[in-house]
Amino acid sequence: MTQTQSSGEVKQHYRACHLCEAICGLVIETTGDQVLSIKGDPNDPLSRGHICPKAVALQDIHVDPDRLRKPVKRVRGEGSGYQHVEIDWEEALDLAADGLIRTIREHGVDGVGAYFGNPTVHNYGMLTHQNALFRHIRTRNRYSATSVDQLPHHLISLWLFGHKLLFPIPDIDRCDYFLMLGANPLASNGSIWTVPDVKKRINALTSRGGKLVVVDPRRTETAEVASEHHAIIPGSDAALLLAIINVLSQRDWIKLRHLEAYIDGLDEVISAVRPFTPGWAAEVTGLSASTIEAIARDMASAERGICYGRMGVSTQRFGALCQWAIQVINIMTGNLDREGGSLFTLPAVDQVLGTSPGGFGRHHSRVRELPEFDRELPAATLAEEILTPGEGQVRALFTGAGNPVLSTPSGAALDDALETLDFMVSLDPWINETTRHADVILPPTSPLEHDHYDLAFHVNAVRNTARYNPPVFDKPEGAMHDWEILSALGERVAKALDLEAAPVIPPDVMMDFALRAGPYGDDSEHKVSLDALKANPSGIDFGPLKPQLPDRLQTPGKRINLAVPKVLDDVLRVYEELPEVDEGYRLIGRRHVRDCNSWMHNFHRLVKGRDRCTLMVNPEDAKREGWQEGERVTVASRVGSIITHVEITPNIRSGVVSLPHGFGHAREGTRMALANDNPGVSCNDITDAGFVDPLCGNAALNGVPVQVSRV
């Protein structure tokens, strides 16, 4: 639909916001190369017109003067410093490929490391075409944001359900009781749970007499609207969850319902949790025994209940165990694969049937012997794999849409390690705290200059929907999409190593094939194809989630074995390591609706207002320590220290302090002016790469022991 104004033709575009997991539908009006407005799409069946401030900032990202439009290479500047200067694409691609090829010839493929950041999964070209390059570089040194985030979800889905992407999704629109641990969807818009417009969904839950119970050390934005909030001691969630399982079994509150026919190992689980009584858990968690029993009772008695946990329970020392226990609770109460409980999606592009199920522990990191998952090693070990000599040492690094200096533990150590590399290449539109070390930076087109299909987040959505959107603006002359960059590098590497390059198939062609072969494609009544989605720019709704078990299971015999040996072994660790007695404080992170990792601080709409990079402390702690509002304090851990400002609030448990994630800008050689003017501090300069979940290797970013003192 278009209309004409004196300033030129006004065009209307339909688009999904790619800045968080909610994938809200947008209507964008443009004239020429300018954005006039960005509004929510009321016809989008998933988001229903909802947007948050991030969506409006899409225009700021597009026009950001600091965003690279051409490749740059790193050269020595005046004195001892470096600077990046523009070069043409042919030179840039040749330099990047030559550096990778030289490393492979001199040190083997394991001499090349790769790190892919969170924005990778928000752009389907990065997902579809990584293999165009890395089919030729089958390195063991692959890393990603997965292991500082949702790795426990993937691992437990693999062990229980047979595939890394079989996530049970909370059916909030039809539930009666929702137990939520370590999650703040009012700030995140959902995580491993694509749930736009979540506040209205929560209000609808409580309005129909349902209950939302939030367990979190901080009274978050979600806790503010919950029926109950329980401030738990950070890192003790496993004790609470195991105690709930204990109560369900001891009180004979187990009701497997339809799941009984294909559940194994329940007796072993019941035996393993016998020591974890509510009384014992009360000492560990800071919650009363009566509260723990009441949560278990309410979960068992609810007609349709959900137990769900996210970052706060995943990124801690018992992250995998927590995600296992959550699924055990859902199964013991008969709420898995049940309307109003947790259900599996059936997306139009069905990656469960189209991708590898994943694997675990097939090789380990050299230095600490941390296990791989899905051919990736934990990001917490990257710095030591760069610095430790020997066969398999990372000598060259490829980063794609990632900033691990600010996003992974012991970030300062990784920052130093990157400077020792022989070569580094980054596929990234900014010169940030990580890419400033790169010899070559290859910038892709703006998000508004390429088409979009959400491969990742339809897998996690609260409804089965599909949506494809063409680019808002034409690709500028001389620019390259990310998938074109990966393909071009792959062709050069293949030619030099005398290998067969991957055929260059655009991602939209791949999507059309996948859609037509999927559950709503040629063999269904829907006949969904790329053309069908183009004809329905707001998306197509395939309805609410439905029960699919046991057919959807990818396990042998279509059965769920709860008694995972590695998990049951880890249960003993809870009893041995908790409770903990620490002098000092426990550090946790926090999320803001205008934040998402480290790369959204260069846009005025997202950083305006009061300073968000503060240390939240409880009033009792402030009074005891003599801290004043706004006072500077030093926060120190085993690996480093930072100086930040105190924010005194009753919305955090005593003994706990909180810093947001993704700050720590204004480092030499970066090119992000607004972020550098509002740098904040990086909490990952004091999180500890040695502080991980030993079961899976995921980083433990919450519950980090710290000391806080006046400057």
What is the pLDDT at residue 128?
96
What whole-number percentage of the chain has pLDDT above 70? 99
Residue spans in the chain of domains classed CATH 3.40.50.740:
72-149+359-519
The span from the CA of 235 to the CA of 273, in Å, is 18
In this prediction, residue 599 has a pLDDT band, given cuts at 50, 70 and 90, of confident
Give the distance, in angstroms, between the CA of residue 352 and the centroid of all CA atoms in the same chain: 19
What is the pLDDT at residue 248?
98
Q: What is the mean pLDDT of residues 589-595?
A: 91
Q: Is the pLDDT of residue 449 over 80?
A: yes
The structural architecture, per CATH, of the domain 168-343 is: 3-Layer(aba) Sandwich (3.40)
Q: Is the pLDDT of residue 612 over 70?
A: yes
Domain 2-63: give its CATH code: 3.30.200.210
With CA atoms as reference, report the closest residue to 303 among 168, 172, 176, 174. 176
pLDDT tens digits, one per residue of 309-345: 999 999 999 999 999 999 999 999 999 999 999 999 9
Q: Is the pLDDT of residue 123 over 70?
A: yes
The span from the CA of 217 to the CA of 225, in Å, is 16
Residue spans in the chain of domains classed CATH 3.40.228.10:
168-343
Give the tokens for residue 131. 């293999």
The span from the CA of 100 to the CA of 105, in Å, is 9
Q: Is the pLDDT of residue 586 over 90?
A: yes
Candidates 3.30.565.10, 3.40.50.740, 1.10.3210.10, 3.30.450.20; correct CATH number of 72-149+359-519? 3.40.50.740
Helix (H/G/I), strand (E/B), else coil: 469: strand
In this prediction, residue 3 has a pLDDT band, given cuts at 50, 70 and 90, of very low
Helix (H/G/I), strand (E/B), else coil: 526: coil
What is the pLDDT at residue 173?
98
Q: What is the mean pLDDT of the chain?
A: 96
What is the pLDDT at residue 580?
74
Q: Which residues contact 318 (CB under 8 A, 6 or more apart)?
A: 235, 237, 238, 570, 573, 574, 693, 695
pLDDT tens digits, one per residue of 495-527: 999 999 989 999 999 999 999 999 999 999 999
In this prediction, residue 77 has a pLDDT band, given cuts at 50, 70 and 90, of confident
Q: What is the mean pLDDT of residues 281-304?
A: 97
pLDDT tens digits, one per residue of 237-268: 999 999 999 999 999 999 999 999 999 999 99
Cβ of 209: how many Cβ atoms within 10 Å?
Answer: 7
Q: What is the mean pLDDT of residues 364-373?
A: 98
What is the pLDDT at residue 7?
54
The span from the CA of 608 to the CA of 283, in Å, is 42
Looking at the DSSP bridge assignments, the partners of residue 466 are 540
pLDDT tens digits, one per residue of 399-434: 999 999 999 999 999 999 999 999 999 999 999 999
Q: Is the pLDDT of residue 1 over 90?
A: no
Is 252 in contact with 606 (CB distance < 8 Å)? no
Residue spans in the chain of domains classed CATH 3.30.200.210:
2-63
The structural architecture, per CATH, of the domain 581-710 is: Beta Barrel (2.40)
Q: Which residues contact 694 (CB under 8 A, 6 or more apart)?
A: 317, 573
What is the pLDDT at residue 5?
38
Residue spans in the chain of domains classed CATH 2.40.40.20:
581-710
pLDDT tens digits, one per residue of 156-201: 999 999 999 999 999 999 999 999 999 999 999 999 999 999 999 9
Q: Is the pLDDT of residue 660 over 50?
A: yes
